[in-house]
Amino acid sequence: MKERRKVKRRYLLYYVRVYDADTRQQIGNLVDITTSGAMIISENPVTDKKSLRLRIELSDDVANKPYMDVTVRAKWCHPDIDPILFNIGFEIESIAPEDVRIIQRIVEIYGFRDNKPLK
């Protein structure tokens, strides 16, 4: 299947808790994020394709606030290698401009580094 992602996926070195912003129930943990989408690992599948507001926990080293809210839409949901978990791909539909910078900072600080070939 051809890769349609416009921004390179960056896996994070540690999981960040993610909640439903309206119910305050934890949905799962953030596995990777870009300014256009995110993947969450969860014990529960998300098969509904409607918009959802996510609240992403933030640490002091990436932001001066405890969380950010983004509006997303689930694009896919697949079983994880661990049979009790699901990987869920979300497209970010709405995000505050200052939160785009926070995502960039999360990737900068906690994203796996790409290996560059030696010359």
CATH number of the domain within which 35 lies: 2.40.10.220
Task: Note the pTM of the prediction, 2 decimals.
Answer: 0.80
Q: How far is CA 49 from the centre of its chain?
A: 16
Confidence of residue 93 (pLDDT cuts 50, 70, 90): very high
pLDDT digits (tens, 9 = 90+) for 46-67: 888 888 999 999 989 889 999 9
Specify the number of domains making up the chain.
Answer: 1
Beta pairing partners, 54: 20, 70
| C-beta of residue 90 within 8 angstroms of C-beta of residue 103 | no
Does a structural domain hold residue 5? Answer: no
Does a structural domain hold residue 118? Answer: no
Domain that holds residue 102: 11-110
Query: How far apart, in whole angstroms, are the C-alpha atoms of residue 29 and residue 35?
Result: 17
For 36, phi then psi, to 5°, come to: -120, -10
pLDDT digits (tens, 9 = 90+) for 27-48: 999 888 889 999 999 999 988 8
Confidence of residue 115 (pLDDT cuts 50, 70, 90): very low
